[in-house]
């Protein structure tokens, strides 16, 4: 290659590298600006407010919690996130109005978010329902002392509803009430979800005029058993017909996760990796949600129980949750339906969800 041509190529490559560096710097600068604006928007400035984020020693490891609220005298609400491993605080900017009524605690569970980032894969042997239930109890004991409260409210979402109901069953004396949303009851939840998925696939196949899919799905629809063969057929047509899945939802509050204050690129990495790590031990046919049943804990609850369920939730359908609800006994219980609500109602309909919390849960904390 002539020397002049080689020099021109070298100059071009250096120019391209310079452009890429400049674009990266501009992108990072824009992100820093958006995070600054978001921090101002979300800042709590009331005299009795609380705005904290810290690692706390729970279960022998450092676990991350965030505490926010406008008035320390308000009742404490612990939100137990789903996933498993789906740390909720990057998606929670829509909860700013909640902080006028409750002190909101978010917890990166064992194997999730910053807690995963601090400990990594060394957590693998401890990723059990029993250990995480005890983590929850220890966290509530810490919150009682730190925030000077006798009791708190626990809201569990999806996997967090399964874990949360185990926590309140173990130590009901620590809680004003249990609130489940996207409530998982055990295998029955996923069997109903599979049945609804097959029905949805048939509708998609009918719309697409896909006779092959209709032929293969028909015997499963007649008897929707979640056996390996049926799951293989469902998985095939879910991809071919583009059936929406829980992974296809892109959740964000008014402030998207990349622009949330104090949420670094490394946090983003651990957020994503923590979900994959937790799923390995807690999801699927060998995970506790599929192999255990909430009813086995006993149907008598000594504290109020509230279920807030979307009637269009196809990931954790409300029917099994309602069947459980009808069987349990509690000093006070309510089943609240949100019309048209899907699996993520605390995030995509936060104002409506708050209205239900204020109407049905907040009064229970006055006793």
pLDDT tens per residue, range 185-199: 988 888 888 888 888
Task: Say what the pLDDT of residue 23 is.
Answer: 61
- Residue pair 365/359 in contact (Cβ under 8 Å)? The answer is no
Query: Can you give the pTM of this predicted structure?
Result: 0.88
Q: What sections of 43-183 are H helices per DSSP?
A: 113-119, 129-147, 159-170
Which bin fits 47, alpha (ψ -120 to 50), beta or left (φ > 0)?
alpha
Token pair, residue 19, equals 């452009």
User: With the CA atoms of 299, 139, 276 and 285 taken in that order, what torsion angle do they form, in degrees rounded to the nearest 10?
Assistant: -20
Bridge partner residues of 94 (DSSP): none
Within 10 angstroms of residue 276's Cβ, the number of other Cβ atoms is 11
Q: Using one digit for the tens of pLDDT, what is the confidence trace for 191-244?
A: 888 888 888 888 888 888 999 989 988 988 899 888 888 889 888 888 888 877
Mean per-residue pLDDT pooled into runs of 10, the chain (367 residues): 65 63 66 84 93 97 98 97 92 94 98 97 96 98 97 97 97 98 91 86 88 89 88 86 64 80 92 94 85 93 97 89 96 96 92 97 90
d(CA 155, CA 182): 11
Q: Other C-beta atoms within 10 Å of 197: how many?
A: 22
Token pair belonging to 292 = 């255990």
The 10 Å Cβ neighbour count of residue 331 is 11
- Provide the residue count of the chain: 367
**Phi, then psi, of 75 in degrees rounded to 5:** -65, 150
Which among 299, 310, 301 has a CA at the least distance from the CA of 336?
310
In degrees to the nearest 10, what's the CA dihedral of 198, 337, 275, 61? -150
Contacts of residue 73, Cβ cutoff 8 Å, sequence gap at least 6: 48
**pLDDT recorded at residue 188:** 87
Cα 289 to Cα 266: distance, rounded to the nearest angstrom: 30
Rounded distance, CA 189 to CA 167, Å?
20
Q: 245-268 burial, b for 16+ CB within 10 Å, e for fewer?
A: ebeeeebbbebbbebbbebeeebe
Comparing CA positions, the residue from 293, 344, 307, 327 lying closest to residue 166 is: 293
């Amino acid at each position: 290659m002539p020397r002049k041509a080689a020099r021109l190529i070298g100059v071009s490559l250096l120019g391209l590298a310079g452009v890429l560096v400049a674009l990266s710097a501009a992108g990072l600068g824009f992100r820093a600006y958006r995070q600054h604006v978001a921090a101002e928007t979300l800042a709590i400035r009331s005299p009795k407010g609380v705005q904290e984020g810290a690692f706390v020693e729970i279960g022998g490891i450092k676990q991350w919690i965030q505490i926010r609220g406008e008035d320390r005298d308000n009742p404490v609400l612990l939100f137990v996130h789903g996933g498993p491993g789906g740390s909720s605080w990057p998606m929670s900017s829509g909860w700013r109005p909640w902080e006028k009524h409750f002190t909101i605690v978010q917890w990166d569970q064992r194997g999730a978010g910053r807690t995963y980032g601090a400990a990594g894969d060394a957590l693998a042997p401890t990723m059990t329902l029993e250990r995480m239930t005890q983590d929850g109890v220890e966290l509530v004991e810490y919150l009682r002392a730190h925030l000077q409260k006798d009791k708190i409210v626990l809201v569990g979402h999806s996997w967090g509803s399964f874990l949360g109901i185990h926590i309140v069953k173990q130590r009901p004396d620590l809680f004003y009430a249990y609130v489940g949303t996207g409530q998982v009851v055990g295998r029955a939840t996923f069997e109903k979800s599979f049945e609804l998925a097959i029905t949805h696939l048939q509708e998609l196949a009918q719309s697409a005029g896909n006779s092959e899919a209709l032929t293969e799905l028909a015997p499963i629809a007649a008897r929707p058993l979640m056996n390996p063969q049926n799951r293989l057929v469902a998985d095939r047509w879910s991809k071919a017909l583009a059936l929406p899945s829980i992974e296809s939802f892109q959740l964000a509050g008014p402030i998207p996760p990349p622009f949330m204050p104090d949420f670094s690129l490394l946090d983003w990495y651990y957020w994503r990796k923590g979900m994959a790590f937790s799923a390995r031990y807690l999801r699927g046919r060998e995970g506790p949600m599929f192999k255990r049943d909430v009813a086995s804990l006993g149907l008598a609850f000594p504290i109020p129980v509230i279920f807030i369920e979307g009637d269009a939730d196809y990931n954790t359908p409300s029917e099994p949750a309602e069947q459980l609800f009808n069987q349990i006994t509690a000093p006070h219980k309510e089943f609240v339906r949100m019309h048209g609500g899907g699996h993520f109602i605390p995030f995509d309909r936060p104002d409506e969800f708050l209205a239900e919390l204020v109407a049905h849960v907040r009064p229970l904390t006055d006793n």
